[in-house]
Structure 1
Amino acid sequence: MSIPRRGGLAGRFLVFVGTAVAMALSAIPAQAADIPGTDQIVMSPNVQHVTNVPKPASIAATINTDIAFQGNYAYVGNYGGFSIYDIKNPKKTSVVSSVVCPGSQMDLSVYGDLLFASVDSSRSDDSCGSTSQSASVKESWEGIRIFDVKDKKNPKYIKSVETNCGSHTHTLVPDKKHGNVYLYVSSYNPSASFPDCLPPHDKISIVKVPLGNPTSASVVATPVVFPDGGNESQPGLALPTSGCHDITAYVEKGIAAGACMGDGVLFDIRNPEDPKVTARITDPNFAFWHSATFNNAGTKVVFTDELGGGGAATCNEATGPNRGADAIYDIVNGQLVFKNYYKIPRYQADSENCVAHNGSLIPVKGRDIMVQAWYQGGASVWDFTDSAHPEEIGYFERGPAAEGSGGFWSAYYYNGYIYASDFNRGFDVIKINDRRTNSANGVQVDRLNTQTQGSYRDRGHGDWVWSDED
């Protein structure tokens, strides 16, 4: 989410009131009409809602954010902390524990017994008992928190690492050969009033975590991504580039894709402490480059545009199909070549915050298919095998939220099911049953940090194996 990084959540959302516009989806029956103020689940015939688990009471007042997976567990971030869910039997998904440790956004990743969490709100100190305070106070803290989650019922907070401008998101980059993981920390919106976030903030922070001694984690580099200042603001559209919002690393191939406010970039990350920008692209239809997803072959990138910061109704007829959408790029001779846009083919009510947000690949051999969250637009499963002609396969959504703002922050595929974190409703489990995706049911992985992409590759006999390491 790209709402301003300092200040309260209230007031950041732009909510417009109007009338829902219905639009039929090709090859799938049109959805039922949205009824404002209700939870009216609508979905395509090939999608099943398996279960919903409400947020634990301890963090019920704050919104859910991103998700990481390991083994039989899902870790769900929340502005108030995070929760661990047992998903061994997806139909009986349950809360194992919930940690109260406030600080937006609590973007998460997991590796071994370690859980990493991003804090991008100015705190009085690095503790879980900290309070919010202005970033103009020199003693303020924001950055990375590290937890030991070996005991899922009793996670332990073991280390903090302060980073410039905090950590809006981070990307885990494994370095198994040397026994480390790196965290590429993305943050933005500098200010001359913020001692830890002075302009120009045209860099990322790299945190090195020795796995044998995680409490020695520290910032080892702050490479400048945009030495020329990056893209300038486009009136009425893009924010000027002053940092990255999110980075997706494909470690096996030594590449990463950065969604950096006004720019989309490719990195060479073969030296994880010294990433180099190798390609850049801008788009007059993009307001805020939010996130990136490679296809399995590493020959395409899907960038998302978070028009309106996640708080506006941009999936309506007035906004149209090319803004607040995905942009599909082929990678040709190391450069990004635009092919087309993708946006959910159903207009949402003018009261629903809806825009392209977080998603992941569904491992279908020979096809490029992903599932993606669209806030109150729900979750969309779509095929971009033909980069120039993407199409939706299935969808799930609830209709306008009684709270005004809401919907799915993230929707990811993991071991046969789609898991989604809803702002207000908690944690959802969804199943798609479709000949175009069913082969993915046989692909099992033991860890998924979506921004740390791995490759699905053939091990013979038609089976695929997965790895997120080099």
Structure 2
Amino acid sequence: MILLNDPRTRRRRLGVAAAAAGLLSALLTAGPAAAIPDPGDGPAASEKVSGSVRAEVRDAIADGEIPGQDEIVHSANIEHLANIPKDVLPGTNSDLAFQGKYAFAGNYDGFRIFDISNPKKPKTVSQVLCPGSQNDISVSGDLLFLSTDSSRSDDSCNSTTQPATEKSSWEGMKVFDISDKRNPRYVAAVETACGSHTHTLVPERRDVYIYVSSYAPNAAYPDCQPPHDGISVIKVPRNAPEKAAVVGFPVLFPGEGPDGGGNPGAPTNPGVTKTTGCHDITVLPSKDLAAGACMGDGILFSIKDPEHPKVVDRVQDNVNFAFWHSATFNQKADKVVFTDELGGGGAPTCNAEIGPNRGADGIYDIVGRGEKSKLVFRNYFKIPRHQAETENCVAHNGSLIPVKGKDLMVQAWYQGGVSVWDFTDSSRPKEIAYFERGPLSTTSLVTGGSWSAYYYNGYIYSNDIAKGFDVLKLSDRRTDPAKRVRVGELNVQTQPDYFD
């Protein structure tokens, strides 16, 4: 059954019982060694919760404060058009990319290609088995790029897990030829230091540059040594992708000693993850700008020379940001939205106990020009609906909705669902639409929900960790002008200039 709820009627006190039971105490006070952002490459986590939490969840469902288990609810301006469940790839669903009439969906076991020419009836075109978390995905022309951030026995799609302490282990970038969407062909592999958690394309005419984000070095890992305060840059010749290779490792946080120059994290900054690389980078090629979400730091840098990016400004939030996860520019490039993935995506942080400023978005204005630009904090945004203590929920991947003169964004919040919000006024962000499901479980904390929610050519597409591929239609006078905007390709971390 589908219910249409006004979010203002659904403010809840959920979270008090869990806090009393101590479920989040380790998460919020742990040092950097305990912070493992994003779900691992095993099956979805399941953690039993206390009897008081289970009773609280049951009561909240009975009172209509949260949806029932697996129940779909949404605002009146969103329509759920389609859902395609997971099929032969059983792993965690991850990121999305788009090209023409196709959507490309990452999964920890490989990737899936959908024909979305009819958004009401998406069709599977092909599924490729190639395990290796997270399988962060992007496309450019006839090439598809896939990140591997789990230590493997080799670079093949038949590899098995192998300890990172072994020199022969492999992690990095994989490249596929997708000229035939029904039969993608694996054409190249490039090993990178500490693997590739995520990656970002900087497309040039003849070549594609890839910024590889990775982190968590260890002196015991031969190919992932500390301090690892930078990113790998890969150059891929379009006409000879088999020649793809690392062409540099720019250090973004220079500093003396084994810890480098990034945020030191705990105990200096309790609750903040130590910076040992970047989690995600978003580039705006039309403005030669990039924004990096780098664990304990947020950075703004110039990519005029794509092989040698230069940091322009750097900010920290040691009060409310635990893990700088991702970044999104507005169209004018005078704002950046950074996300904080408190709890690594596997914890219930959308509740009264955590509050509105942690596990949220941070909105920054870009003040000044060029190399004198500064990031200036304006406000936080978090969804206004509390979730159950059995639901992992925190700010995650989203994209702009292209409306000229407005700053609108759609965003995934794991089991918090999909939120559409307006940050045209940086200091007064507000939600204007939402879609979510009830908890996967009322007795255990099970990892699930929307990993990525992106706007592409008139529709919202979401890749749900457990439930599969969702298509949503947004009908609202504030967002309707975006339906007239079309792009031929979309990798959200490579933001297009919609109105150039």
Q: Same fold (TM over 0.5)?
A: yes
CA distance change for structure 1 residues 13 and 195 in 2, over 3 Å: closer, same or farther?
farther
Q: 1:420 aligns with which of 444, 457, 462?
A: 462
Q: 1:210 aligns with which of 217, 231, 237?
A: 237
In the alignment, the residues of structure 2 paired with residue 180 and residue 102 of structure 1 have an alpha-carbon distance, to the nearest angstrom, of: 27
Partner in structure 2 of residue 52 of structure 1: 83
Q: 2:217 aligns with which of 182, 186, 190?
A: 190
**Is 1:63 the counterpart of 2:102 in the alignment?**
no
Partner in structure 2 of residue 371 of structure 1: 410
Q: 1:264 aligns with which of 279, 282, 298?
A: 298
**Is 1:438 the counterpart of 2:480 in the alignment?**
yes
Partner in structure 1 of residue 363 of structure 2: 328
* Greater share of residues in helix: 2
Q: 2:491 aligns with which of 422, 446, 449?
A: 449
Listed as ranges, the matches of 1:33-48 within 5 Å are 33-35=65-67, 38-48=69-79
Partner in structure 2 of residue 462 of structure 1: none
* 1:215-246: CA deviation from partner (whole Å, max 9, x where unpaired): 10000000001002211114441111000000
Partner amino acid, structure 1, of 2:475: N
Q: 2:43–2:92: 8 Å Cα contact kept in structure 1?
A: no
Query: RMSD of the alignment, in Å?
Result: 1.9
Partner in structure 1 of residue 265 of structure 2: 233
**2:242 match: secondary structure:** helix
Q: 2:227 aligns with which of 188, 200, 203?
A: 200
Q: 1:4–1:12: 8 Å Cα contact kept in structure 2?
A: no
In the alignment, the residues of structure 2 paired with residue 41 and residue 444 of structure 1 have an alpha-carbon distance, to the nearest angstrom, of: 29
Instruction: Extract structure 1 runs of 4+ deviating beyond 6 A.
Output: 11-15
Partner amino acid, structure 2, of 1:43: H
**Is 1:77 the counterpart of 2:110 in the alignment?**
no
Kindly, what percent of the aligned residue pairs are identical? 61
* 1:361-410: CA deviation from partner (whole Å, max 9, x where unpaired): 00011100000000000000000000000000000000101482100000
Moved more, 2-11 or 354-363: 2-11
**Is 1:305 the counterpart of 2:347 in the alignment?**
no
Partner in structure 1 of residue 25 of structure 2: none
Q: 2:315 aligns with which of 281, 295, 302?
A: 281
CA distance change for structure 1 residues 143 and 45 in 2, over 3 Å: closer, same or farther?
same
In the alignment, the residues of structure 1 paired with residue 40 and residue 377 of structure 2 have an alpha-carbon distance, to the nearest angstrom, of: 36
**Could you tell me how far 1:10 is from its partner in structure 2?**
5.6
In the alignment, the residues of structure 1 paired with residue 76 and residue 48 of structure 2 have an alpha-carbon distance, to the nearest angstrom, of: 30
CA distance change for structure 1 residues 95 and 353 in 2, over 3 Å: closer, same or farther?
same
CA distance change for structure 1 residues 196 and 306 in 2, over 3 Å: closer, same or farther?
same
Partner in structure 2 of residue 89 of structure 1: 118
In the alignment, the residues of structure 2 paired with residue 442 and residue 422 of structure 1 have an alpha-carbon distance, to the nearest angstrom, of: 27
Which blocks of at least 5 consecutive residues in structure 2 are unaligned?
1-34, 256-260
Kindly tell me the number of residue pairs found equivalent between the two proteins. Answer: 445
Q: 1:42–1:397: 8 Å Cα contact kept in structure 2?
A: yes
**Is 1:181 the counterpart of 2:213 in the alignment?**
no
In the alignment, the residues of structure 1 paired with residue 352 and residue 59 of structure 2 have an alpha-carbon distance, to the nearest angstrom, of: 10
**Could you tell me how far 1:6 is from its partner in structure 2?**
10
CA distance change for structure 1 residues 321 and 4 in 2, over 3 Å: closer, same or farther?
closer
CA distance change for structure 1 residues 111 and 436 in 2, over 3 Å: closer, same or farther?
same
Q: 1:15–1:405: 8 Å Cα contact kept in structure 2?
A: no
TM value normalised by structure 1:
0.92
**1:345 match: secondary structure:** coil
**Is 1:3 the counterpart of 2:36 in the alignment?**
yes
**2:210 match: secondary structure:** strand
In the alignment, the residues of structure 2 paired with residue 81 and residue 137 of structure 1 have an alpha-carbon distance, to the nearest angstrom, of: 24
Partner amino acid, structure 2, of 1:428: D
Q: 1:22–1:346: 8 Å Cα contact kept in structure 2?
A: no
Which blocks of at least 5 consecutive residues in structure 1 are unaligned?
24-30, 458-464, 466-470
**Could you tell me how far 1:249 is from its partner in structure 2?**
0.4
